[in-house]
């Protein structure tokens, strides 16, 4: 603060010296009265006005509202004195922010007009300092008044490109334009020249201007990627100058590193400009790729050299570390060569030894990004340093421990599963309480997905329960029970393992629950080693000390023992009689029911009631909902999704939990009632029987891997098929429930290529399709109609399970997750048609967002096979009839399909002709002179080959709602698909 403002200094001193709150309040009120009197003077000088405004700002910083002084702040902003103008703009921002924070107290239009007058003066000033003040001020104020963007976007753009201003003004103008685009993304569409003039700024000789232009280009990339593509080469050239050629102006070196802020931001800009590794070859030509390769190698090597130098200062190591992580992040994002990924992984693993916590944390984050790409070479390179990563599980910083745990989870496979689970179990014994549950769930999922030996799997999960049974939810042992039921081979092993732990005496209650279920279901398999009486004794010894839920499960187990072992019946009947007087209503009710069944003394009835546990038909592990899928991890580490589906590759390499849809599912075992594997007769609180299992097939004699459902494949060893379990190995596709009004937009866009796809009170979705032979370019425009900002917007395309390679959907551009009020965003999709498919196989788009509450919209994408049609060359009557006959002669009835279609409302041949033209056929009026008949021809463009299609429509002269359809195509099956599709479109018009 200027030293001549003695009154301000004295006022601040008095406030600081106040010993009581009342003294402070009294001094403030006295000063406010004095300031109000001074503002009433007509000859108040600029100096005194500035001093009193500074006092008001200090009072505002103490938490008091600003109730007066707005006009004086305007006068200061209009002053020609720089210091007065600065205080004036600062006070105006404080006034606006203070009023926005108070309910019902908003800035009036007249006050906004006064502010705009001051801004207009400074934007028109030839003084660069005044222009900079106006730019800084409008950046703060546009948050509260969006209309300022439209008012000043032209002036800000002019300041950004004007040759009259120096680099300082241009930098501030670029940053202001960046803020404008964030507030109102339509600014780019109103002024498309913004991008074309901002791109050359990357090549500016002023690194300060480059630093200011990069954020603007980043946000513009999300709005118009194609327009920003030219700056890829400019960014690579600038990086080459700074990193390889070491060309950097004086004053921009920081501890030996050339312009580290510019370098890191350019790395981030290139990540935005190159969507993923699969598209890098198409976007980056060979010279640019070679240059970028050299840039990354030099940046990594020099940064590691500086970081490992013991003589380097802390600041130098921090700067080189920032450049290193930026280079490695870009390398993991766009470079697909395995050798470079291995080098990046090795370099990052070396940094895990760094004594700096931030370096270790960032290294783990980048390693996670590399591992999530699932490249065998890079994962193997990371696993070479497993001992080092496992040491970080014991790091003193909890964030590093969590990231190390995630990394261990992501590098696990069938080759290293035993070593990783062994290490995690060792860590589980010493892990803090907050991490035990997460470690336990990870061990359970890894063992389930990658186990190759049945005995090892059972022993591992049992050891997991023994170590952390009291720290994990019931999902872990429930999943173990499901796998045991579905696999015959491991049932004897599981029983022996349970007996061994129960004999040990020290085990958690979850182990007792699992043991009660396993032994009561399959205990007879080890009866020659451990009699049923001994099994019962092992379970009953802990019965009095167990919780109500566990005792309920034990009672169910005892009831099954009653059925299986006659020696135990007197003792078990006594137990049921004693529990009829239990304080717990659940135990009492259960005991009464079981006792009533026992006293019936009818083996035939018991045989009907107590049946073998059928195999679980569930495909989704309940642990997945706890831990999350690999897709969730990819979102966390910002990984790009693959652009093309390969079903064979998915079946061979994709982990089980990556295949599963994130759907909610009921628990596999009824924990609340404790009834496991026992179905009680009607009239009692019974657990519903699962669906009958599929026909049982012969299973392999050795355990090779975990099946798709997370169960172990095993051999059936008994002769009684009813007492054995069969594994379910297929994941059935459950079509999502569509939104109630999906049909209106779907069938509208089956007929047209653009229009409203969906609309409600919150959002409008406009669909546009552009046909490019076998490729369909789809644009979905989301417009916010709600009175508030839409957040968390996602549009996920769900492919039906039955789709193989019939078509491929590529998400070119995702929508912005946030849409301000009355704004919009776009999502771009490319669909490549490869072969024939039916309308029932079109994908579904799941749109979710937050606007007052969570909204979910599920719609069918109208990319029916007709969308791949084109008209082709016009056909004469002779050519049409000749080809019409040739198809039948060649393919017979397999090349033809006929339908009689009953419409919901009357139509005409003109309307029918317009419809077939819209869907892609060429209407041929010269072929048939009958006014009630229509002949049409078209070509279906597919990636593999093209197919010819001929059509005849006959409208009944007596009933204009009855249409006869005949389609002939040059390949088998296509005519049936087209006839079905056209019938569906016509009947839903």
Binding site: which residues? Answer: 47, 51-55
Q: DSSP 3-state assignment of 696?
A: coil
Distance between CA 438 and CA 444 in Å, rounded?
Answer: 10
- Cα Dmax for the chain: 111
- Is 669:676 a contact under the CB 8 Å cutoff? yes
Cα separation, 216 vs 200, in Å, equals 12
**Cβ neighbours of 861 (radius 10 Å):** 23
How many residues can be counted in the chain?
989
Q: Which two tokens stand for residue 716?
A: 């059936």
**How far apart, in whole angstroms, are the C-alpha atoms of residue 157 and residue 176?**
9
φ and ψ of 343, to 5 deg: -60, -45
Give the integer Cα–Cα distance in Å for 352 and 336: 24
C-alpha–C-alpha distance, residues 253 and 593, integer Å: 83
Helix axes 338-351, 314-334, angle to 10 degrees: 150
Helix (H, G, I), strand (E, B) or coil at 870: strand
Cα 211 to its chain centre, rounded Å, is 30
Of 864, 832, 881, which is closest to residue 974 (Cα–Cα)? 864
Q: Are strands 257-258 and 791-798 parallel, antiparallel or unpaired?
A: unpaired
Q: Which residues contact 638 (CB under 8 A, 6 or more apart)?
A: 369
| Secondary structure tally for the chain: helices H, strands E | 42, 16
DSSP assigned state of 244: I
For residues 639 and 658, the answer to whether their CB atoms sit within 8 Å is no
Residues 407 and 367: beta-carbon distance below 8 Å: yes
- Tokens 């009291």: give the residue: 470
**Residue carrying structure tokens 């009036």:** 108
Three-class DSSP category at 792:
strand
Return the bridge partners of 763, or none: 784
Phi/psi for 245 (5° steps) reads -85, -10
* Cβ 696 vs Cβ 677: under 8 Å: no
Q: Are 750 and 864 in contact (CB under 8 A)?
A: yes
Q: Residues 213, 202: contact at Cβ < 8 Å?
A: yes
Q: 254-287 burial string, b = 16+ CB within 10 Å, else e?
A: eeebbbbbbbbbbbbbbbbbbbbbeebeebbeee
Would you say the C-alpha torsion 259, 261, 266, 271 has a positive or negative sign?
positive
Distance (Å, whole) CA 658 – CA 9: 65
d(CA 881, CA 64): 89
Report the distance separating Cα 467 and Cα 443, nearest Å.
12
Q: How far is CA 565 from the centre of its chain?
A: 53
CA distance 177 to 180: 5
How far apart, in whole angstroms, are the C-alpha atoms of residue 635 and residue 307?
30
User: What does residue 861 show for φ and ψ, rounded to 5 degrees?
Assistant: -75, 125
Structure tokens at 515: 């043991």
Q: Do residues 707 and 660 make contact, with C-beta atoms less than 8 angstroms apart?
A: no
Q: Classify residue 576 by burial, with Cβ atoms within 10 Å: 0-12, 13-18, 19+.
A: buried
């Amino acid at each position: 603060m200027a030293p001549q403002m003695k009154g301000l200094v004295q006022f601040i001193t008095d406030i600081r010296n106040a010993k009581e709150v009342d003294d402070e309040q009294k001094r403030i009120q006295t000063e406010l009265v004095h300031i109000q009197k001074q503002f009433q003077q007509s000859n108040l000088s600029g100096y005194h006005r500035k001093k009193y405004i500074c006092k008001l700002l200090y009072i505002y910083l103490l938490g008091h509202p600003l109730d007066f002084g707005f006009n004086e702040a305007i006068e200061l902003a209009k002053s020609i004195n720089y210091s007065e103008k600065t205080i004036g703009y600062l006070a105006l921002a404080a006034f606006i922010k203070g009023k926005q924070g108070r309910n019902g107290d908003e800035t009036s239009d007249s006050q906004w007009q006064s502010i705009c007058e001051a801004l207009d003066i400074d934007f028109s000033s030839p003084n660069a300092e005044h222009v900079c003040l106006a730019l800084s001020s409008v950046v703060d104020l546009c948050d509260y008044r969006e209309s300022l963007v439209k008012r000043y976007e032209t002036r800000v753009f002019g300041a950004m490109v004007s040759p009259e201003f120096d680099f300082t003004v241009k930098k501030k103008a670029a940053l202001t334009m960046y803020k404008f685009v964030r507030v109102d993304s339509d600014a780019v569409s109103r002024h498309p020249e913004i991008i074309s003039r901002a791109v050359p700024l990357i090549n500016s000789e002023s690194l300060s201007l480059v630093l200011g232009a990069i954020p603007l280009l980043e946000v513009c990339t999300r709005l118009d990627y194609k327009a920003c593509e030219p700056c890829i080469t400019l960014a690579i050239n600038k990086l080459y100058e700074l990193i390889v050629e070491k060309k950097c102006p004086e004053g921009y070196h920081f501890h030996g590193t050339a312009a580290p802020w510019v370098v890191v931001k350019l790395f981030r800009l290139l990540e935005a400009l190159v969507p993923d590794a699969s598209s890098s070859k198409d976007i980056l030509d060979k010279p640019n790729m070679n240059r970028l390769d050299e840039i990354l190698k030099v940046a990594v090597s020099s940064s590691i050299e500086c970081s490992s130098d013991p003589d380097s200062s802390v600041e130098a190591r921090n700067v080189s570390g920032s450049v290193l992580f930026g280079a490695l992040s870009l390398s993991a994002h766009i470079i697909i060569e395995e050798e470079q990924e291995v080098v990046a992984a090795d370099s990052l693993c070396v940094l895990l030894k760094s004594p700096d916590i931030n370096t270790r944390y960032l290294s783990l984050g980048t390693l996670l990004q590399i591992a999530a790409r699932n490249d065998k070479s890079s994962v193997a390179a990371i696993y070479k340093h497993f001992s080092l990563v496992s040491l970080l599980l014991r790091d003193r910083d909890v964030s590093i421990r969590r990231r190390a745990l995630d990394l261990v989870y992501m590098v696990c496979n069938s080759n290293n599963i035993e070593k990783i689970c062994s290490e995690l179990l060792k860590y589980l014994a010493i892990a803090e309480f907050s991490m035990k549950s997460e470690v336990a769930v990870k061990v359970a999922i890894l063992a389930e997905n990658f186990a190759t030996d049945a005995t090892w799997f059972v022993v591992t999960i049992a050891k997991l329960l023994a170590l952390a049974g009291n720290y994990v939810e019931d999902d872990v042992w429930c999943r173990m029970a499901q796998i045991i039921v579905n696999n015959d081979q491991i049932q004897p092993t599981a029983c022996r393992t349970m007996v061994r732990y129960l004999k040990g005496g020290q085990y958690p209650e979850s182990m007792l629950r699992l043991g009660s279920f396993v032994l009561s279901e399959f205990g007879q398999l080890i009866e020659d080693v451990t009699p049923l009486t001994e099994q019962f004794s092992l379970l009953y010894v802990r019965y009095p000390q167990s919780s109500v839920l566990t005792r309920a499960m034990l009672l169910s187990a005892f009831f099954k023992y009653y059925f299986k072992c006659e020696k135990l019946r007197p003792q078990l009947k006594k137990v049921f009689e004693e529990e009829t007087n239990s304080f717990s209503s659940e135990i009492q009710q259960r005991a009464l029911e079981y006792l009533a069944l026992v006293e019936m003394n009818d083996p035939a009835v018991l045989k009907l009631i107590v049946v073998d546990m059928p195999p679980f038909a569930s495909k989704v592990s309940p642990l997945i909902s706890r831990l999350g899928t690999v897709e969730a991890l990819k979102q966390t580490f910002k990984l790009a999704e693959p652009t093309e589906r390969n079903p064979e590759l998915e079946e061979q390499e994709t982990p089980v939990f990556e295949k599963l849809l994130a759907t909610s599912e009921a628990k596999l075992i009824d924990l609340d009632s404790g009834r496991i594997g026992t179905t009680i007769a009607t009239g009692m609180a019974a657990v519903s029987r699962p669906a009958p299992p599929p026909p049982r097939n012969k299973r392999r004699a050795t355990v090779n891997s975990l099946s798709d459902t997370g169960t172990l494949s095993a051999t059936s060893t008994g002769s009684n098929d009813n007492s054995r379990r069969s594994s379910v190995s297929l994941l059935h596709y459950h079509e999502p429930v569509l939104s109630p009004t999906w049909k209106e937009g779907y069938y509208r866009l089956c007929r047209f290529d653009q229009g409203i796809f969906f609309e409600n009170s919150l959002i409008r979705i406009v669909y546009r399709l552009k046909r490019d032979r076998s490729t369909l370019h789809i644009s979905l425009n989301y417009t916010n109609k709600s009175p508030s900002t839409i957040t968390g917007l996602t549009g996920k395309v769900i492919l039906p399970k039955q789709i193989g390679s019939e078509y491929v959907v590529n998400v070119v551009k995702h929508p912005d997750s946030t849409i301000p009020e009355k704004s919009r965003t776009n999502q771009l999709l490319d669909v490549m048609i490869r072969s024939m498919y039916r309308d029932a196989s079109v994908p579904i788009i799941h749109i979710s967002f937050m606007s007052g509450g969570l909204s979910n919209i599920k719609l069918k994408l109208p990319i029916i096979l007709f969308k791949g049609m084109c008209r082709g060359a016009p056909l004469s009557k002779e050519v049409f009839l000749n080809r019409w006959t040739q198809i039948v002669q060649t393919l017979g009835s397999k090349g033809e399909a006929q339908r009689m279609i009953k419409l919901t409302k009357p139509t005409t041949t003109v309307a029918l002709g317009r419809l077939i033209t819209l869907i892609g056929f060429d209407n041929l009026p010269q072929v048939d002179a009958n006014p009630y008949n229509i002949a049409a021809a078209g070509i279906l463009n597919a990636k593999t080959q093209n197919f010819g299609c001929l059509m005849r429509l006959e409208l009944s002269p007596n009933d204009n709602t009855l249409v006869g359809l005949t389609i002939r195509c040059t390949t088998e099956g296509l005519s049936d698909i087209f006839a079905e599709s056209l019938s569906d479109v016509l009947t839903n018009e």
